[in-house]
Amino acid sequence: MSDKNAKSFFERLTGTIKVSDEEITEDETVKPKRVDFKDGAASSAAKDETSQDQEQAEAVSPKITATESGKSGSWLNEAQEGQLTIDVYQTENEIVIKSTVAGVKPEDLDIAITNDMVTIRGKREKDEEVAQQNFYYQECYWGAFSRSVILPLDVAAEKSEATMKNGILTIRLPKIEKEQTKKIKVKPLA
Q: What is the 3-state secondary structure (H, E, C) of 70-83?
A: CCCCCCCCCCCCEE
Predicted confidence (pLDDT) per residue in 95-152, tens digit: 999 999 988 999 999 999 988 899 999 998 888 888 989 989 888 888 899 999 999 9
**Please, what is the average pLDDT of the chain?**
73
Predicted confidence (pLDDT) per residue in 152-163, tens digit: 999 999 999 999
pLDDT at 55 over 70: no
Q: Where in the chain is the domain with CATH 2.60.40.790?
A: 82-127+138-174
Nearest CA-CA partner of 157 in 171, 133, 174? 174
Task: For domain 82-127+138-174, give the CATH number.
Answer: 2.60.40.790
* 58 backbone dihedrals φ, ψ, rounded to 5°: -65, -35
In this prediction, residues 21-41 reach a mean pLDDT of: 49
* pTM for this model (two decimals): 0.52
Residue 147 contacts residue 86 (beta carbons within 8 Å): yes
